[in-house]
Amino acid sequence: MHEVKDTKQAAVRIGFDGRVHKRFNGPLAKERFDNEVAVLTYLEQKNCPFVPKLLEVHPEELYMVTTNCGSIVNKIGKDKLQALFAELETYGVRHEDPFMRNVTYSDQLGRFCLIDFELATILETGVGLRYDSQLNKVVPV
């Protein structure tokens, strides 16, 4: 497996088969895991084409496997970035971490995609998590 990210919040690796393996660590790991699984499940039900699809979920290990949405982008215009996150909201989800680090480009789809939904909010229910910079921690929405 190829290591993509290894931080105190999560370890992300891409398998030789292209699938993305993510293990949650650190503060509120269970809450962040549960939130990302809920959001990805919701987006799949809404047929959102530009986000990962859940393939495996292992709650006891705080571990999941998703499809791969392409390569991390190194450059995207501010207007395009805002439009991409606005498009996600048409599927009923606000990302809550709308930065370039959460954007990939899929050659297969021929478009930009979004990843990393552990801090996202499902707008229909108002359920989700966000980072509070004043408290310096993740809090429920």
**56-to-17, 45, 66, 67, 72 alpha-carbon distances in Å:** 14, 16, 7, 10, 22
Q: Can you give the pLDDT at residue 135?
A: 66
**108-to-50, 67, 105 alpha-carbon distances in Å:** 11, 12, 9
d(CA 9, CA 125) in angstroms, rounded, equals 25
The range of the structural domain enclosing residue 123 comes to 2-140
Question: Under 8 Å CB-to-CB from 93, ≥6 apart: which residues?
Answer: 39, 42, 43, 48, 117, 120, 121, 122, 123
Q: Can you give the pLDDT at residue 129?
A: 66
| Residue pLDDT, tens place only, 117-134 | 999 999 988 777 666 666
Give residue 124's identity as a one-letter amino acid code. E
Q: Can you give the pLDDT at residue 9?
A: 87
pTM: 0.89
Least confident of 4-13, 21-30, 67-76, 115-124: 4-13
Q: How many domains does the chain have?
A: 1
d(CA 77, CA 2) in angstroms, rounded, equals 28
Q: Can you give the pLDDT at residue 74?
A: 93
Q: Are 50 and 63 in contact (CB under 8 A)?
A: no
Average pLDDT over residues 15-21: 94
CATH of the domain at 132: 1.10.510.10
| Residue pLDDT, tens place only, 65-124 | 999 999 999 999 999 999 999 999 999 999 999 999 999 999 999 999 999 999 999 998
Q: Can you give the pLDDT at residue 1?
A: 58
